[in-house]
Chain A
Amino acid sequence: MKRSLIFLFTLLAFVSFVAAAEIKLDVKEHVLPNGMKILMIPKPGVPRVVCHIYFKVGSINEKPGITGLAHIHEHMMFKGTKMMGVTDYAKDAEIDRKIDELMDKIYREKYWTADGGDKAKLAQWQKEFDDLVKSEKPYIIKDEMWNLYMKNGGTALNASTGNENTGYYVTLPANKIELQMLLESDRMLNAYFREFYSEKDVIMEERRLSENRPGYFFSEQVNAAFYAASPYHWDVIGWMDDLRKVTKADLIEFHTKYYVPNNCVAIYVGDFDPQNIVQTAEKYFGRIPKGPDVEPIRTYEPPQYSEKRLYGEGPAATSLQMMFHAPQAGHPDAAPLSVLASILGGGGGGFRGFEPGDLTSLTAPPIIRGQRGGGFGGGGGTGRLNKILVQEKQLAVSASASSRAQWYVGAFQFSATPRLDKNVQPEDLEKEIWAEVEKIKKEGVTPEEIQKAKNRSEAMFIRSLGSTSGLAGSVGRAELNRGWRSILTDYENLTKVTNDDIKRVTVKYFVKDNSLTAIYKRKMGQ
């Protein structure tokens, strides 16, 4: 026993110090025999620990028919296990099986027939379904896992799904990490998806909330038009039809394939003893059997070969978006494009290694009400586009650029809002932006602009090390793709960018056949 303990700690001694900007990102690593990775960033001080688990699965692992499933699955992971959330597992499972059989009949009648099925039959089955749901209630302990976390001082309790990964979060008192390991390993091993059908209703309401945001439908179409082939084509929330029709069997298949220990990483940031974390992780996560290897996505975005344009009208602000396909994270051109975005956009671009991207979460953040001021500020920045279009030529109220390199695709985007009081049209801004791009193709940018972008990246990098949950998110997610050290190499690559690099990537990527231009005009109350 003692020997194995010593062996355990020898493994742990593999600690990584990598210097960047004279700052050390000290991540301790441990790999369990089943392939699950445990990362640790000790930060002594306040006795709390950020505990996150990331799975290498997101909306890009879906396909037509099951869009939105990664996110549905994330919600369902809170619906109990064989142990949690149930008073009598055997009895509950029996009812749950009947519910699934009945719903299978209902779905076939409703969705497999052209006319939507026999109404009387459906009504009868729906009544049977309602009765079964009612009979299951006494066996369900509502949100037991959530309650346990809360009762033990869990904060920042949430989960979120992105294009590429899914995260489960809780911050706990430093003496209660074992609770997280017990509950999380239990739901990896023994997830049992109760109340699937009412949870789908919840998610449809979540989608409606997005739909009611002015401009949402247009932006969803812009994204779908921009990514024609790759699975970035659909939003994380999924299409409404798929949310309606996706089945419990789809969900179980998805869970079995992706929620295996060799497809995930657990990360801890805070006040703890790493030896203790490793020991406890061996106990709990170590009991999960290794799963089959997971195949990466097959469909990358093919070259576009033609210009795309999209026009829309509705209640959102009049605006221009110009999007260009760009390489994925880690590609040699990603760094110059990022520096260029920082130079043009000011507020956007720069060091982006620590940004989580678009996420769909389990619960909404609390809305702060009764506050003044905050919502009206902004719109500034010292980027080149802002200087030229907003300040000098006074054609826009805002103008920005951003570069986003994702795991398998990338996008460079310009956004601008025209001055309505001067009757400027989005198309006028489009011409201005192209003129600026052509200028950069020939002349590049100034040394001061490059230096500023690098300084900003350095400072953002250092700041990101100060946040516990932000650090957990970026290190954990990076580990799943190119390893957490890619955060450091991405940063180092930014520091090496030259004016020639910027000219080269501008020539290469900013061409019409690689672009989508989206013009949106406000319809109401001009």
Chain B
Amino acid sequence: MYAEPDSREAVIAVIEVASLPRVKRSPPGLLNNLKLAYFLAWYDVRHRYARSVIGPFWITLQTAIFVGCIGFVFSAISNVSVQDFLPYFAVSFVMWNLMAGATNNATTTLLGAGGFIKDRGIAAYIFYVQCFFRHVLFLAHNIVVPIALFVFLGGTSILGIVAAIPGIIIFMLVTMCLSLVAGTLATRYRDVQPLVESLMNLAFLASPIMWKPHLVVGREYLLDFNPVVHLLAIWREPLLNGVMPWQSFAISLAILAVLALMASFAVSRLKNAAFWV
């Protein structure tokens, strides 16, 4: 039997139906979308575990092996003791992986979500948030490596960790905005994706991640004009050296402000996303 035209007008959170199951709707809006993004990200990570016996530790182990090998080689190249170099490199590398990974992944993330956007009406920005969350979850696995190194080799203090928090937050916000901007641009213009990838590779090699800043002493302009240097300094300096680099904070906040503006423009353009994918 069909229902007579509308006897129940009220829109209620709990819709009760005779033989269809009882259903609880989460109220739509930003919070619900962030939850959805988190769930999608969590399933991505679970997917990575699915076929390996050691599960979550596989992600950590990959990072540990890479950090171990490169750490020994590059501490020799840059003539720094392994004890000094390993924690420095490990923490820089896993944080850089968040920024580079989220940004590179964002350039292709929407292409796989075409069905969600066109057939289920899911807002496109959710998939960039999903991509960011996924990489934050990877970071949560990878961070074990630098933590273990700090515990065994030393190099930081509780105070240093606390002082690093504001910088880490700025670093993450920059990553979120950067991935939104790069992702949106790369989805609309398909030739942007390889460009982003090579820029991120360039930034990795040109910034003090695999090498320590003292190597370029006398040519400080190599550091001063590199935005990534400042984004790293704002949490690495307090963490490793107990110093607050205020100038780098100012530059990083300026970078964040510009990227946030660009990101909000990108989100406004994403209303056309269904035409792009």
A is bound by B? no
Residues of chain B touching chain A, judged by Cβ–Cβ distance below 8 Å, are none
